Amino acid sequence: MSFLEKVSIKNITVNKKARHDYFIDETLEAGIELCGTEVKSLRAGQVNLKDSYVSLHTGEAFVKGMHISPYEKGNIFNKDPLRDRKLLLHRREINRLIGIVKQQGVSIIPLSLYFKGSRVKMEIGLARGKKNYDKREDIAKRDAQRNMDRAIKEQGR
């Protein structure tokens, strides 16, 4: 049994608004630099990704706007809930992201946060913004699929 087979993945949070507001072209997995009390807050599920985004500067990637609530028993060790947190990516991945963002005008959005073994990982996506008519189209498709599933279920009875 290899190391990869033993690793368990436990979801912390998913940014549902990201898939509603953006077309996701590509996804990447990144580590994230946290302090101890932040990890304890994540274990309690006290995190919000709704208005967060990834910015690239000086050859590094930072997630901005991610809110991790202060740990109740953390007292002086708690950090600012909205501080910028460094993403851990390889240099070639960061350089590729910088090139794509400059050329194509896409954004980098956090999609989900999860534990992979004992490590905290973030799934980030290269995203293009949706227009209102695209959002309405997605809602119509979802409703049509739901109605078809309901009809099939009724037919089986």
Question: Do the domain assignments include residue 137?
Answer: no
| Three-point CA angle 70, 72, 78, nearest 5° | 40
DSSP annotation string for 60-119: EEEEES-EEPPPTT-GGGPPPTT--EEEE--HHHHHHHHHHHHHH--EEEEEEEEEETTE
Is 17 a member of any domain? yes
The reported pTM is 0.76
Q: Is residue 141 part of a domain?
A: no
Of 146 and 81, more confident = 146
Instruction: Report which of 41, 63, 43 is spatially closest to residue 54, judged by C-alpha positions.
Output: 63
Residue 4 has pLDDT above 70, yes or no: no
For residue 152, tell me if it sits in a domain: no
Is 25 a domain residue?
Answer: yes
Select, from the ranges 5-14, 45-54, 131-140, the one with the highest average predicted confidence (pLDDT): 45-54
- Which domain, by its residues, includes 14? 7-130
- What confidence score (pLDDT) does residue 60 get? 92
| pLDDT confidence of residue 124 | 92
- Give the pLDDT confidence of 23-36 residue by residue, as tens digits: 888 899 999 988 88
Q: 89 in a domain, yes or no? A: yes
If one counts the domains in the chain, the total is: 1
* Cα within 13 Å of Cα(86), Cβ side: 9
